[in-house]
Chain A
Amino acid sequence: RKEVEQDPGPFNVPEGATVAFNCTYSNSASQSFFWYRQDCRKEPKLLMSVYSSGNEDGRFTAQLNRASQYISLLIRDSKLSDSATYLCVPLSGNTGKLIFGQGTTLQVKP
């Protein structure tokens, strides 16, 4: 099993839609989680950090389910500018290394 797994998509949604992605992780020692956003051919940038059960920032909500070892990202009221690839990264508590999922691509259509 891969350390971090994401559905690559693409998820094609209309503007205004609500969309959710899941990310499963295998290392139960992971304590912190991060969602990064990557635009085409650009470097990833941090979107959101999750240290407990979840986090909310405007239209973006991250929820952590430790029992099932997955973290989700919910985007409400999708905008065209949300089109990007979203990368999940658990912080491995016992090694400190950061392993990325392969990313989920979102395309928001007018």
Chain B
Amino acid sequence: DADVTQTPRNRITKTGKRIMLECSQTKGHDRMYWYRQDPGLGLRLIYYSFDVKDINKGEISDGYSVSRQAQAKFSLSLESAIPNQTALYFCATSDSGTGGVVGELFFGEGSRLTVL
């Protein structure tokens, strides 16, 4: 089983719909991240969280919200999806340094979202 699991893996939706992408991890890491990837633009940070009560905006947080329900779960919501949110979304986790390498990210396999 994957250490970082994203659901759904693929989703097609319509403009204006609410979408939630979920991420769960079994690595025991306290840091979690959401990125989106567009062709030619690399990975861009949407939100990140260093603990259950900690939420931070990344580079492109407008139009998105997140929830850190537990240490192992970090979900990304699009309240009203629009076509330019069509992208590949990655969740990632990282150790804070107590046992592993700070900064080494472990990614899920990605969630491909298409907004029509």
Seen from chain A, the residues whose Cβ lies within 8 Å of a Cβ on chain B are 6, 8, 32, 34, 36, 41-46, 49, 87, 89, 91, 95-103
Contact = CB atoms under 8 A, between A and B. Distances in A.
Contact of B58 (A46, A49, A97): A97
Dominant SS among interface residues on chain B: strand
B40 A100 contact: no
A91 B103 contact: yes
A51 to B, nearest CB: 9
B107 interface: yes
Interface in B29-87: 31, 33, 35, 40-45, 48, 50, 56, 58-59
A22 B22 CA distance: 34
Given A99-B59, A100-B43, A102-B41, 4 more contacts: A44-B90, A89-B103, A91-B103, A102-B40
B24 interface: no
Q: Which 8 A-B pairs have the closest CB atoms?
A: A102-B42, A43-B107, A100-B43, A91-B103, A103-B42, A46-B104, A100-B42, A32-B103
